[in-house]
Amino acid sequence: MFPLKKSAMTKLHDREKSQFKKLFRNEGVDRFEEMMTVLEVFLETEGHITANELIDRLTEHGFDFDPSFVRDSLRLLTQFGFAKKLRFDDGKIRYEHCHLGDHHDHMLCRKCGKIIEFVDDALETIQAEVAAAHGFHMLGHRMDIYGICADCLKNRIRVIPLSRARQGEHLVIEEFTGGTNARMRLMSMGLKTGDPVEVITSDPRGQVVIASGNKRYAIGRGLAGKVMARHTDDPAA
């Protein structure tokens, strides 16, 4: 979440807990006090957390709740707007705080998995203008930007085997390694050094699918490990 002064964050969390009590204490919700505990530990977390991670946090705090109860609590917190459920393209379901009046978008690093929240008023204005230009009444939106974070860029290896490239990366083929048969197989597919490629998908247990020009290529992981490529934002590329 965005940095707030401790006093401001405490007031915000106290408001959330107060509203939770008003909504549910008199509604006969089963295990209200335990559910309140789930909310309190959830509010102590920062960033984006999975149900299993929240279960671990509760255990660290000395609470031995049944996992199904924690998941049911998260569903209720989401239903009533105390939590927001997110699914990024890694398939994991995460939850973040859902404070009233707060909106932000996300940047996700494909290398380390870091999730960065951001707000850009100019971008919000442009999106509203685009919707209006199409006669569209926008009720809400979500933007997820995928890429490589600044820390990972600083530590990125200049030339990598194609088998280690991430989905969405743009590279230039530097060289083929391995024996003559491997090089001939790659060349017979139509690939050559100097070709720019985009990684379409990269399954750790299967093929690497790339695009070069207007063609797609599916390369086995072993063979892809023999294709050395440089990132296109490297000055030497």
Domain chopping of the chain, boundaries: 6-97, 105-153, 159-231
* Torsions phi, psi for 144 (to 5 deg): -120, 120
pLDDT digits (tens, 9 = 90+) for 51-76: 999 999 999 999 999 999 999 999 99
Fold of 159-231: SH3 type barrels. (2.30.30)
Q: DSSP string spanning 6-31?
A: HHHHHHHHHHHHHHHHHHHGGGT-TT
For residue 168, with 0-12 CB atoms within 10 Å meaning exposed, 13-18 middle and 19 or more buried, which class applies?
Answer: middle
Fold of 105-153: Dna Ligase; domain 1 (3.30.1490)
pLDDT value, residue 198: 94
pLDDT value, residue 47: 80
pLDDT digits (tens, 9 = 90+) for 200-234: 998 888 899 999 988 999 999 999 999 999 987 65
Dihedral sign of CA atoms 123, 124, 128, 131 in order: positive
**How are beta strands 159-161 and 227-231 bridged, if at all?**
antiparallel
Check: CATH 1.20.59.10 for 6-97?
Answer: no
Band the pLDDT of 3: cuts 50, 70, 90.
very low
Please give the average per-residue pLDDT across 134-158, as a whole number: 85
CA distance 219 to 25: 58
Q: pTM to 2 decimals?
A: 0.58
Q: How many Cα atoms are found within 13 Å in the side-chain-facing hemisphere of 119?
A: 8
Q: What is the residue-averaged pLDDT of the chain?
A: 86
Residues annotated within the binding site for Zn(2+) are: 109, 112, 149, 152
CA distance 215 to 206: 20
Dihedral sign of CA atoms 165, 167, 170, 173 in order: positive
Residues 6+ apart with CB under 8 A from 212: 190, 191, 195, 196, 197, 198
> Could you give the percent of the chain with pLDDT greater than 70?
92
Any idea which of 30-44, 70-84, 92-106 has the lowest mean pLDDT?
A: 92-106
Residues annotated within the binding site are: 103, 105, 109, 112, 124, 141, 149, 152
pLDDT value, residue 95: 93
CA distance 142 to 146: 13
Interhelix angle for 67-79 vs 32-44, to 10°? 80
Please give the average per-residue pLDDT across 156-164, as a whole number: 86
Residues annotated within the binding site for Fe cation are: 103, 105, 124, 141
